[in-house]
Amino acid sequence: GAGVSQTPSNKVTEKGKYVELRCDPISGHTALYWYRQSLGQGPEFLIYFQGTGAADDSGLPNDRFFAVRPEGSVSTLKIQRTERGDSAVYLCASSDQPGGADTQYFGPGTRLTVL
């Protein structure tokens, strides 16, 4: 079956611009996660959705970052007034067993480059 997909695979933007990154989770998975992976680092938690609601957004670095999941499936991560420090690979994962022991299925990521 289809895995988690993310679009675009690469995004180059200029400092100060607005970007949207999309995640299509595995069909039927109720839990969805966003992570950010900087060069040489492991994934860093940003936000977790259970259904349509953001159950935990404590990882969002500041108010320029926002994510939505209006119908409990596709999610969009939105970054306003991008900065060069936002350059990273943004990963999305989904799970059908929300909780600390769940297996998360990751997408290939969106590589964001802010010039």
Q: How far is the CB of 2 from other proteins (least distance, A)?
A: 13
Distance CA(52)–CA(42), nearest Å, equals 27
Asked if residue 40 binds other proteins (CB under 8 A), the reply is yes
3-state secondary structure at position 5: strand
Contact residue for other proteins among 56, 80, 81, 85 (CB under 8 A): 56
Distance CA(95)–CA(104), nearest Å, equals 5
Percent helix / strand / coil, the chain, rounded to 5: 5, 50, 50
* Whether 91 contacts 37, CB under 8 Å: yes
**Cα end-to-end span (Å), the chain:** 37
Give the nearer residue to other proteins in terms of CB position, either 70 or 99: 99
Asked if residue 58 binds other proteins (CB under 8 A), the reply is yes
Give the nearer residue to other proteins in terms of CB position, either 85 or 108: 108
Give the nearer residue to other proteins in terms of CB position, either 12 or 55: 55
Residues in contact with other proteins by the rule CB under 8 A: 3-4, 31, 33, 35, 40-45, 48, 50, 55-56, 58-59, 91, 93, 98-109
